[in-house]
Amino acid sequence: MKKIILTTILALCALQAALAQVRVDTLTLENGNVLKGKVVAKSGSSVFFKTADGTLFKQFNAEDIISLGQESLSRHEYNLLRGFTRDGKCTRNYVPSSRRQGYGAFIEALGGYSTSSYGWFDVTTSQGYFISPVLFAGAGTGVNMKIEYSSYDYRGTIRKTSMSVPIFATARYYFINNRNCSPYIDGKIGYALPLYDAIAADNAGNSYNSYSAYRTKGLYFNISVGVEINRITLALGLTGSNTQGIDFGEDTYMNQSGMAKRWRNYYYAYSFVNAAWHLNVGFRF
């Protein structure tokens, strides 16, 4: 009877010890880093790996990998690796972000409002280099669209939407290197090229210079402050660009239908900086 009880106790202890151990995959890289987590998928030449704390999910090529193995961790060690303390409190607020020195990229979309453009929309992408986990520099491009009130002449609706392509240099600084909450400041400056101009015909048929055209060409800028949560970004800021305008008559409107021709046959030209407050959402690759 004593032997049975002793055997049962030993079996329970062994079971408890086994349950207390957690097997994790380990990935040793050429750069010396050792990652712990889970192999999500494998192919002949690459491995998809996710770290235990969820801060990194990435495909690694075979030439970047030294070895792939497994390691047994105690439940406490595993919880620490995931970002939890012994008493179950989350420490992930202090887990470093997945930003690393090297190539980085962003895609962003913004919507805004100005007194000159009642709808302002940008979609941009930035490519560059993380000098450190808190400092990024690069260049980018995108598409900008400005929408104004509809306008009519005696032939029908006239377009009052213009589009342009900004080309810019960009830099971003993160105040802290925190996966769950990294506040930052971001700046872009460059040059906008017009795709097509907006036409206004408010005075069509009533005056000599009855038509106007507006296009975005020249200075482009964007400054914003925001927060990055994991890889999602949310920001508020001010964006602007140089707007050019011309007034012209009906003969030009009728005979010079292309933007390039219109902008060589006008009566009066002017320009101003059009700026808008905006809300920006994005994703870091």
Sort 29 into a burial class: Cβ within 10 Å, 0-12 / 13-18 / 19+.
Answer: middle
0.75 surpassed by pTM: no
User: What is the predicted pLDDT for the residue at 142?
Assistant: 96
- Which segments of the chain does DSSP mark as H helices, in order? 2-20, 75-82, 250-255, 259-262
Handedness of CA 114, 116, 121, 126 (dihedral sign): negative
Classify 9 as helix, strand or coil.
helix
- Assigned CATH class of 102-284: mainly beta
The string of pLDDT tens digits covering residues 232-263 is: 999 999 999 998 888 877 777 777 667 777 77
**Domain covering 20-94: architecture:** Roll (2.30)
pLDDT for 250: 73
Task: Give strand pairing partners of 184.
Answer: 174, 226
- In which residue ranges of the chain is pLDDT below 50? 9-18, 88, 90, 93, 153-157
Residue spans per domain, the chain? 20-94, 102-284
Question: For residues 237 and 222, is the Cβ–Cβ distance under 8 A?
Answer: yes
Q: Compute the mean pLDDT over every residue in the chain, rounded to the nearest whole number.
A: 80
Summarize pLDDT for 194-238 with one digit per residue, the tens.
Answer: 988 887 776 555 555 577 788 899 999 999 999 998 899 999 999
Q: Are strands 161-174 and 182-196 parallel, antiparallel or unpaired?
A: antiparallel
pLDDT at res. 135: 94
